[in-house]
A and B are shown apart, each in its own frame.
Chain A
Amino acid sequence: MSGTTQHAELALYDYNPYERRPKIEWPNGARMAFWVAPNIEFYELNPPLNPHRKPWPHPYPAVPGYSIRDYGNRVGHHRQMAVLDKYGVRGSISLSAALCEHHPEIIALCAERNWEFFSHGIYNTRYTYGLSEDQEREMIEDAMATIERAVGQRPAGYLAPALSHSNHTIDLFAEAGGLYTCDLFHDDQPTWVKTRSGKPFVSIPYSLELNDTIAYVVQKMEPRRYGEIIRRAFDQLYEEGAESGTVMCIPTHNYQVSCPHRLRAFEEALEYITGHSDVWVTTGREIAEYSLTHLKDQIGSNAEASA
């Protein structure tokens, strides 16, 4: 409850306890689906002010915040890409769609590697907050169409810009042709999501806890410790994956993980993970498509189709 407004409870998924679930098997008997989601974002120096959220902590021009994010695109991207290449990981990019226009060089480098591009809104300084349903639909479609024009494929996934949502966000994205959301952090396995259109739609685990920005900026972790928590998460999910397949995601940002004093910790974690057998190193789209095709029963599709 906020003021006098009664907000609806979300009814996106059914409660489903982690014990005694039907077994998930990943392709070729893998016990874990592993994916890396580099956020490639554009933050505007001078965006229009959204009354619900300030884009920057400093007055214009917000040099510290803006310039380190620009660093990510100018310097960090290449560095992270080289490490992912080395360990055979195709990135699943959480993309500010306007980056297709601002920095097409980055799009080209990722496209030639057959990376996945999913939508992360237009800019990370434009929030969903306060938009009408029509405005949000327009923003979601603009981002989908912009990415499709740039790379020739319509995005399958959505992480709302700056994790800003409305009650309609997931419904609207499913109606725009999306297959999966990264915005829900309730599980370590895919979950069937109930949308008003009833279209097949799934939540794919995208760990906020292993997100480099959460680790480095919120938790203020030392770089080597970040590497350590990634390995611990892997060990646990890999062990549990023997009983029923799990999903592990490392969400990254090219202005955090790619800094020269941090990249080594990330690289060591990747080396550790990809050194294990029975790990399906894949993309968000592939996990979503596999789940919606082969795992409908395991992920709860026999629940009521619409909320």
Chain B
Amino acid sequence: MSDELLVYPRRDYGMDHDRYGWSMLQDRPPVAWPGGKPLALWINLSLQHFPLSGEKPSVAPPGALTMPYPDLRHYTLRDYGNRVGIYRLLKLMEHYQAAPSLAISGALAERYPQLLERLAKTSSEWLGHGWNMLSMHAGEIDPQIETEWIHNTRTALEAFTDQPIVGWLSPGRIQSANTPELLVKNGFRYQCDWVNDELPYTFRTSEGDMTCLPSSLELDDVFVLTQNLHSEDSFAQQVMDAADLLINEGREQGGRLLSLNFHPWLVGQPHRIRTVREILQALLVERGDDIWHASPSQIIEAAQA
């Protein structure tokens, strides 16, 4: 076997790449959230379009269609989220006066303008979420194609809202080696794919710095319910356990962040929506005194103040 396996070119202080510096959360200057709250809460809803046909990408995102064409069962189950689930979630969010951010497939702007018009009436911050769930920013994807996806997503969403689209969540939280540079080139100021921290931090690209605001994968509804196959009750309990730990730590060590990502096609189902209600009740009502519920841009701004 070649000696390359025993050669270590980046075996030195810090990380083994140049994307960000090394530091431990507990060693950094404490973050103070508005009102002295120990915990910031970021809720995101991911609105996704899974095409019925199209070339399969090198990496499939969670929820991808799996059956031979036409995979009506998965296509329609995902489409359910954009027809039914999202409206159930919006009603619940409005009841709790919650303002989730919305990560949206650009293709939805073309397919369902009514949906985008409805979303524009909320006070939510929008994030680009890729063109659709086949447009995976993965592996050896051609940078020209990636640029088009990013540009088209931004343009399509901005046709429905006055807010600039500056945040990005990649489908499946997967990136190619070029994604961060292409995002910065196309006006994006933060991305949420690297789940290596609990607070926003500076992410370097050759086009200039951006922010990474980590979107927790471990408490993502699709991860917990469809990959781990945990019960809905366990999901709610895990969220509450996380909140309690982070509130305690936030009181002692400085502001902490809890990020939750919900998918309308999954938790918008009638047997799961009550779990979202329980989570909102537990966080925004029962723990409301300790929680600052805010948008991604507000959280980034406060963390970097």
Q: Which residues of A contact B (CB under 8 A)?
A: 42, 44-46, 48, 50, 58-61, 63-64, 66-68, 70-71, 73-75, 77-79, 98, 101-106, 122-123, 126, 130-132, 135, 138-139, 142, 216, 220, 222-224, 259-265
How distant is the Cα of A223 from the Cα of B59 in the complex, in angstroms? 28
B26 lies within 8 A of A78 (CB)? yes
How distant is the Cα of A157 from the Cα of B228 in the complex, in angstroms? 33
Q: Which residues of B contact A (CB under 8 A)?
A: 1, 3-8, 10-17, 22-27, 58-59, 138-140, 172-177, 193-198, 214, 217-219, 227-231, 234, 237-239, 241-246, 249, 258
The answer to whether A64 and B238 touch (CB under 8 A), given A75-B25, A102-B12, is no
Which residue of A64, A260, A265 is within 8 Å of B195 (Cβ)? A64
A63 lies within 8 A of B242 (CB)? no
B239 lies within 8 A of A68 (CB)? no
Which chain A residues border B27 with CB–CB below 8 Å?
105
A44 lies within 8 A of B16 (CB)? yes
A73 lies within 8 A of B242 (CB)? no
Cβ-closest 3 pairs across A and B: A59-B139, A260-B242, A261-B238
Residue of B nearest to A127 (CB): B5
Which chain A residues border B246 with CB–CB below 8 Å?
260
How distant is the Cα of A235 from the Cα of B245 in the complex, in angstroms? 27
Which residue of A50, A74, A77, A126 is within 8 Å of B196 (Cβ)? A74
14 contacts between A and B (CB under 8 A): A46-B16, A48-B4, A50-B5, A61-B17, A64-B172, A67-B194, A71-B195, A73-B24, A74-B25, A102-B11, A102-B15, A130-B5, A131-B6, A223-B234
A68 lies within 8 A of B22 (CB)? no
How distant is the Cα of A53 from the Cα of B1 in the complex, in angstroms? 14
Which chain A residues border B173 with CB–CB below 8 Å?
63-64
The answer to whether A67 and B14 touch (CB under 8 A), given A48-B5, A98-B8, A222-B234, is no
B242 lies within 8 A of A261 (CB)? yes
Which residue of B59, B227, B258 is within 8 Å of A58 (Cβ)? B59
A139 lies within 8 A of B6 (CB)? yes
Number of A-B contacts (CB under 8 A): 144
Which chain B residues border A68 with CB–CB below 8 Å?
195-196, 217-218
How distant is the Cα of A49 from the Cα of B6 in the complex, in angstroms? 11
Q: Name the distance in Å between A176's Cβ and chain B's nearest Cβ.
A: 16
How distant is the Cα of A267 from the Cα of B13 in the complex, in angstroms? 32
How distant is the Cα of A32 from the Cα of B183 in the complex, in angstroms? 56
Which chain B residues border A45 with CB–CB below 8 Å?
16-17
B11 lies within 8 A of A58 (CB)? no
B24 lies within 8 A of A130 (CB)? no
Q: Name the distance in Å between A30's Cβ and chain B's nearest Cβ.
A: 32
Q: Name the distance in Å between A96's Cβ and chain B's nearest Cβ.
A: 11
Q: Name the distance in Å between B176's Cβ and chain A's nearest Cβ.
A: 8
How distant is the Cα of A66 from the Cα of B175 in the complex, in angstroms? 12
B24 lies within 8 A of A101 (CB)? no
B227 lies within 8 A of A126 (CB)? no
How distant is the Cα of A64 from the Cα of B11 in the complex, in angstroms? 22
B1 lies within 8 A of A131 (CB)? yes
Which chain A residues border B7 with CB–CB below 8 Å?
48
Which residue of A58, A67, A104, A264 is within 8 Å of B241 (Cβ)? A264
A122 lies within 8 A of B8 (CB)? yes
How distant is the Cα of A101 from the Cα of B8 in the complex, in angstroms? 12
Which residue of B4, B11, B218, B234 is within 8 Å of A101 (Cβ)? B11
Which chain A residues border B196 with CB–CB below 8 Å?
66-68, 70-71, 74
Interface centre among A63, A68, A142, A223 (most CB of B within 10 A): A63
A102 lies within 8 A of B217 (CB)? no
B1 lies within 8 A of A130 (CB)? yes
Which residue of B10, B174, B198, B217 is within 8 Å of A44 (Cβ)? B10
Residue of B nearest to A260 (CB): B242
Which chain A residues border B234 with CB–CB below 8 Å?
222-224
Which chain A residues border B16 with CB–CB below 8 Å?
42, 44-46, 102
Which chain B residues border A224 with CB–CB below 8 Å?
234, 237
